[in-house]
Structure 1
Amino acid sequence: MGKDNKQSKQAGRVKLSDAQYEREMLVLQTELVKVQEWVRATGTRLVILFEGRDAAGKGGTIKRLTEFLSPRIARIVALPTPTERERGQWYFQRYVAHLPAPGEIVLFDRSWYNRAGVERVMGFCTPEQYELFMEQTPVFEQMLIQDGILLRKYWFSVSDGEQLRRFRGRMSDPLRQWKLSPMDLESITRWEDYSRAKDEMMARTDLPESPWYVVDSDIKKHARINMISHLLSTLPYHDVAMPVVELPERPPARKTYVRPPLELSTFVPDLARELAISTRGDTPI
């Protein structure tokens, strides 16, 4: 699809309002908490892969997906560049170490598919290593599934124009500049190389037992809603009875405890109070 067609398609889209987005997200996040409790109660092992180009919206989706989940159950795995020792191991070995135990959810922010994308395009692996990866990946994933792991693979698809717009936004935003690396900038000039690598990866690893699900991510909020709702639709979760929690009444004070003088504690400065006074001019009560 040409750039003009992409821009026309983008202009013709109807976007969710902020209120619609937040309302629907709250519904989905409520269901995700139910998934968490189902995973914990049944000993389910769930693995979710997030793949896509730089600035495709993977991180933002992961953030909203896990926002109300327990970090003891839902873990995010974003591995750094492999060490010298790891480079000499079986390629999948360092990923295996992060697979879930019963009752856990693991979200891979990029995964073993690095070899099919950035490693291949940037020459970080040999053609022989790449071909071996492509041969082993369907077998590896089949082993995970046969062992009872639920595997979900999502590719976040962003257009070249939207990716460039997001890169420019990062360059001027001090809170997000750290997200922009020389490798990201290199991807701009290698757009077609990454496209070909993605196409071959899909052709060889989009299998009935472990399919790829493509998320149109040019509109970030739509991508989050669509991905999370689809994930929920693929899981056989159900409501789990939660223990009834009752808040006990506080017993009457026995007046046997004496708090040490406040002067003995080092409190952080009350900057919030100062800001409230300076910006509103309110007189504190």
Structure 2
Amino acid sequence: MVRDTIDRIGVVGAGTMGNGIAQVAATNGYDVVMRDIEEAFVENGFDSIEGSLERFDSKGHLDESPEAIVERIEGTTSLADLAGCDVVVEAALEEMDVKQDIFADLEEIVDEDVLLGTNTSTLSVTSIASATETPGRVVGLHFMNPVPIMEGVEIVVGEKSADAAVELAHDLAEDLGKTTWESDDKPGFVTNRILMPWINEGIRAYDEGVATKEDIDAGMELGTNVPMGPLTLADQIGLDICLHASETLHEELGDRYKPAYLLKRKVEAGELGKKTGKGFYEYD
């Protein structure tokens, strides 16, 4: 069903998640093809990778030079250039029609024994796979952000995901230095199903004046031993991404997942967190 030997990994999307996946794969010795729809997006992806690798290198965390790692990554705007890959991981926009179009195109490009993974954080793997004639080779490979730093990868099993494909997904993630856990194809999977209500409740508590944003974050950090509180984490993730995930879960699971009003207001104001310089906190 899926091939055993993996030498070349394709990544669809050169944004935050895509370039992170490409970096980790290349760092672990794989040849990588990183594709996005515009050359500027590909170049931005390489800029992010090079900056990240330089930081790792300055701390002595690399076994070889950043240049040697980058040389293993090929950038492209053509999906057809992924034809020779042994695995393809899609990390495009979190929109069902976009992902289905990509998977339908990939099926025409790559060999039938190539594992197709999606980095979706909330959308149904089964629905994404339905755009193909071979849904058995489609699995969720949900990397955490930032990919080069976060240890975990969530393996999501679609309705028709074959056992061999799921096993290969676990093996690949572990070969990339990650630790995996497995989730059924239910809305939000394990992480976002639990994380998004936690973030939203932190936002509501702040909006309702329960405490300052600093005290809400401090209370959760010191009281529950998490590394950062809900408002800081929301800024790190991106408030637009949190809103999109919450809206998807609200649609699927009802009012307990309804996004906080202040979250919507922040996104409408363009205050998306660390990436825009301001969210619940301000950043340089």
Same fold (TM over 0.5): no
What TM-score does the superposition give when structure 1 sets the normalisation length?
Answer: 0.25
Higher relative contact order (CA 8 A, sep 6+): 1
What TM-score does the superposition give when structure 2 sets the normalisation length?
Answer: 0.25
Q: Which has the larger radius of gyration?
A: 1
